[in-house]
């Protein structure tokens, strides 16, 4: 059966592989399709497309956008981005980058003043311009302040904690409408990581009305019961069942590529939804 991994990251956000390496690895893993969904950036898309051509492999240009519903952070995948529509996305993404850069400066300053000296400029030299908390976590691990990324996120990098204050996030339904205007396909990523079931079921009818195409049902951290619950929700709200590994390479080692996949027939439904 042909399998697709529709949620992955590269060096252009908080992954450790280049887009070419991602496609090559996907081919080695026996996948049929692989998506690149870097956080709030599409900088790696053209490399992804070229890698797909060079390796004769089907690729999905995408992005993972940070949004919000009732104070809860929600990650929205924008899948199947067309090259000709990339300019339409740039203003939105550049504004997010400006806000994130200021947030990173504030975080680096507060950590340094708190006894955890980190240099944002040195991080940019190592990881590129699109810095997020995963990169800060890596620095904290290297200095011995924490032992894992998860520990860093739950302590020193906790949202609303001593050091980290999140930037304003766009409303998820408004962003779904934008993704539709970009002629891409909106899918909510790992909804049960951030939302209670009650809040998710409150959101889905509104999101569906805004143009939501699917939700991430297949995810490495889900139990069988959670997957079944999300499958039932897709049937209830007429949504497409998507999934992916959320692969970050060495930056986050919680899952390898192809540890969660989407059946090819579901991927075809997402293509038709565009």
Distance CA 180, CA 210 (A): 9
- Which residue positions in the chain have pLDDT lower than 70? 253
What is residue 251's predicted lDDT score, i.e. its pLDDT? Answer: 84
What is residue 196's predicted lDDT score, i.e. its pLDDT? Answer: 97
pLDDT digits (tens, 9 = 90+) for 126-170: 988 889 999 999 999 999 999 999 999 999 999 889 999 988 999
What is residue 255's predicted lDDT score, i.e. its pLDDT? Answer: 87
Identify which of 45, 40, 53 has the alpha carbon closest to the alpha carbon of residue 85.
45
Per the rule left: phi > 0, alpha: psi between -120 and 50, beta: everything else, 238 is: left
Domains of the chain: 3-93+168-273 (3.20.20.140), 98-154 (no CATH)
Strand stretches in the chain, DSSP E: 3-5, 33-39, 58-69, 72-79, 185-188, 214-218, 240-243, 262-263
- What is the bridge-based pairing of β-strands 33-39 and 58-69? parallel
> In whole angstroms, what separates CA 270 from the centre of its chain?
17
Residues 12 and 128 sit within 8 Å (Cβ to Cβ): yes
Distance CA 121, CA 209 (A): 43
Distance CA 151, CA 141 (A): 9
Residues 112 and 101 sit within 8 Å (Cβ to Cβ): no
């Amino acid at each position: 059966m042909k399998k697709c991994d529709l949620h992955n990251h590269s060096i252009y956000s908080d992954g450790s592989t280049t887009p070419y390496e991602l496609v090559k690895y996907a081919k080695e893993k026996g996948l049929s399709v692989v998506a690149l969904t870097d956080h709030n950036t599409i900088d790696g898309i053209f490399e992804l497309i070229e890698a797909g051509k060079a390796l004769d492999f089907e690729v999905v240009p995408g992005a993972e956008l940070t949004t919000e519903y009732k104070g809860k952070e929600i990650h929205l995948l924008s899948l199947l981005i067309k090259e000709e529509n990339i300019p339409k996305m740039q203003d939105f993404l550049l504004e997010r980058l400006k806000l994130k850069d200021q947030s990173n400066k504030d975080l680096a300053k507060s950590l340094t003043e708190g006894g955890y000296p980190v240099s944002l400029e040195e991080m940019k030299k190592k990881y590129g311009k699109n810095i997020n908390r995963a990169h800060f976590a890596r620095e904290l691990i290297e200095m011995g302040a924490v032992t894992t990324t998860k520990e860093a996120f739950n302590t020193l990098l906790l949202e609303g904690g001593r050091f980290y204050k999140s930037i304003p996030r766009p409303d998820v339904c408004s962003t779904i409408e934008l993704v539709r205007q970009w002629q891409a396909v909106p899918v909510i990523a790992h909804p049960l990581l951030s939302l209670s079931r009650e809040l998710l079921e409150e959101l889905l009818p509104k999101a569906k009305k805004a143009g939501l195409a699917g939700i991430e049902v297949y995810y490495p951290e889900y139990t069988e019961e959670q997957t079944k619950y999300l499958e039932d929700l897709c049937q209830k709200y007429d949504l497409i069942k998507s999934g992916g590994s959320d692969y970050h390479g060495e930056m986050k080692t919680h899952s390898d590529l192809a540890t969660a996949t989407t059946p090819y027939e579901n991927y075809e439904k997402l293509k038709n939804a565009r």
